[in-house]
Structure 1
Amino acid sequence: MTAGKPDGVSRTGEFEFIAQSLAPLAAGYEGAFGLTDDAALLAMSSGLTVTSDTLVQGVHFRNEDPLDLVARKALRVNVSDLVAMAAKPHAFLLSIVWPETVAADDQMRFVDGLAADAHQYSMPLIGGDTVRGGDRLVITITAFGEVERPLRRSGARPGDRVFVSGTIGDGWLGLHADDLDLPDPVRNVLKDRYMLPQPPVALIEALRATATAGLDVSDGLAADADHLSTTSGAGIDLQLASVPVSAAARQWLVKQANQTDAMVSLITGGDDYEMLFCVADHQVDQMMSAAIDVRIDVTEIGLICDGSGVRVFDEKGDIVQILKTGFTHF
């Protein structure tokens, strides 16, 4: 007998469970896209897309995390899914399970944080449910966005160039910031990136005009590149040295004995909430100009190629072996 999960406990991975057990329930609904994208289109003629994310205390955020920041992150991860579909944020529903011991002050702190971001993203709360029970906070937000033609994961073609917005790895470093040998101001920057991701909403119009495929980077750059590769039916070659990292992350990088292994940690850590997207060669200049206009940094990191799967190359042109590509919920 080998060690593992107790008998009767599911050993099916997150994405296998979705594909094998849940996707058949979406059969016949064109806007569900087989449950392969970041959001669904409510009706092909409606122009409304919908996404939903659940955050569980002790799994997706720590017990000690301030609840105003938890509320803001809960909304932002949904905004990130809307950006991934090139959809403008519209409104949201909130369902929340409060632990039995929740204090009234903590509830109001949560509401204050949620209100701040609802205002920032022009997303009114339009309904939901709230109950009390159990020993942990569970938050589910369902967000709606406006889009005529959603950006999907399935449109990448060989020859397309691969880009990412912002910087990669800060969220993962922020999660572990208290354990890092870094000055307090640098650790605080990384913590902020973990608790308050910045989905690139201003990039939506550029994505609508130029991107062939895209998704948000939430599970880790390597893992999400693999999702895009699988859905598009094409391979992706990524250049590890081209992946953009922040000044704060570089301060951590220079202290690491093996730079390649350290970079692999950054591209597999997750919690980035940036955009990974593809652009046909003839539209790259238009996309870059549009990104500059809205002051969103975008960096070319790879190429769509024939074949399947993701290959990551180091500076010498050697393939980097990656055992675990990113975060999974199961």
Structure 2
Amino acid sequence: MGEFELIRQFFQPLAAAGGSSQLLLGPGDDCAIQRVPPGRDLVFSVDTLVEGVHFPERYSPFNLGWRSLAVATSDLAAMGAAPVCFTLALTLPEANEDWLSDFAEGLAKASATFGITLAGGDTTRGPLTLSLQVHGTVREGEALRRSGAASGDLICVSGTLGDAGAALAFLDAPSPSDMERAVLEQYHVPQPRLTLGQQLVGYASAAIDVSDGLLADLQHILDASNVGARVQVNKVPMSAALQNLEGNKAVNLALTAGDDYQLCVTIAPEQWARLPGSVQAELTVIGQIEASPGLRLDGGQKNVQTQGFDHFGRTV
């Protein structure tokens, strides 16, 4: 199968299936065209996933289609943006039609679920690598950033943390238990918190998605905002499956494991009081921002490593 037949058969239908009024031109020309409505800012981000680094070798192509778009789209959630479109640069060892069919199916399902449309891309031959650039829009001047946290702000996280990190031990399990399947679901089919991110615009002072581990990603907020933080470890939310599988190790995974794609946000107490109850219910308060730099843990945790994933082995 040639490159252009590959695109026509597997990816052109993805571009035609969805559709945003902001995407004026999709695949077929040298560039796509996106129109940004008045009063909105364009936000965009790119993620690259490499086989053997970001996902296992011989990983399910359906899961890879979903997961690759979810990982990229989660960055839009962290900015409070509404998704519009994405591009895909796909490097393949070979044009295997069965693999491509399953990958395109997973990508299409994620695209429809997240409300984001394929606008174009590129294919080439080489080691399996995916680069996805996602575009979204947010009300002018209101994008959530990492740099707005202030002393006294509450530190909040969505969902539960640590499941995806625990799932790594069970990726090759031939017959996973119910608990193992529960954490595997969080790894294979992450759910970017797009709606929640948009609901937090105008309330949250800073935000980030938890991709490299809670403590590492919170540290990015602290560095950008020039503040410190105190985290109550016993308040960090964990699933029953994680606690059942990992016991005393569960909290370490909740603090340091990546790939959860939940949101970590800071909110001033007066803004928390204004936040709709339905949105408050999506969040757990785990600590508070402090003026003094540094990340302090309360709750008896000792020797917790706070560095997150880094491609070149540096502490981040």
TM-score (norm 1): 0.78
Q: How many angstroms apart in 2 are the aligned matches of 1:184 and 1:125? A: 36
1:178 CA displacement: 5.0
Note if contact 2:82-2:198 (Cα within 8 Å) is conserved in structure 1: no
Q: Distance in 2 between matches of 1:118 and 1:185?
A: 28
Q: Which residue of 1 aligns with 2:159?
A: 166
Structure 2 residue 303 is matched with structure 1 residue 321: yes
Aligned-residue Cα RMSD (Å) equals 2.1
Residue in 1 that maps onto 2:120:
127
Q: Which residue of 2 aligns with 1:54?
A: 48
Gaps of 5+ in 2: 1-35
User: How far does residue 266 in structure 1 lie from its aligned partner after superposition?
Assistant: 2.6
Identity %: 36
Q: Secondary structure at the match of 2:209?
A: strand
SS state at 2:55 partner? coil
Tell me the amino acid that sits aligned with residue 154 of structure 1: S
Return the alpha-carbon distance in structure 1 between the equivalents of residues 151 and 228 of structure 2. Answer: 8
Partners of 1:119 and 1:146 in 2: CA distance: 18
Q: Where do 5+ consecutive residues of structure 1 fail to align?
A: 1-41
CA-CA distance at 1:143 after TM superposition: 0.1
SS of match in other structure, 2:101: helix
Aligned match of 1:286 in 274, 279, 283? Answer: 274
2:7 — aligned with what?
none
Pick closer, same or farther for the CA change 1:98–1:224 going to 2, 3 Å. Answer: same
Please give the residue correspondences for 1:271-282 in structure 2 after superposition, counting only pairs within 5 Å.
271-282=259-270
CA distance in 2, matches of 1:83, 1:176: 28
For the 8 Å contact 1:214–1:275, the answer to whether it is kept is: yes
- Select 2:68's aligned residue among 65, 74, 85: 74
Q: Provide TM-score, normalisation by structure 2.
A: 0.81
Partners of 1:47 and 1:127 in 2: how far apart?
21
Q: Which amino acid aligns with 1:54?
A: T
Aligned to 1:140, which of 131, 154, 159?
Answer: 131
Q: Work out the number of aligned pairs and report it.
A: 273
2:92 partner amino acid: W
SS at match of 2:200: helix
Runs of 4+ in 1 over 4 A off after TM superposition: none
Encode CA deviations 1:245-277: one digit per residue, 9 max, x unaligned.
0111121243xxxx3x54123311111100000
Residue in structure 2 matched with residue 36 of structure 1 by the alignment = none
Written as runs of structure 1 = structure 2, the 5 A alignment for 1:227-246 is 227-246=220-239
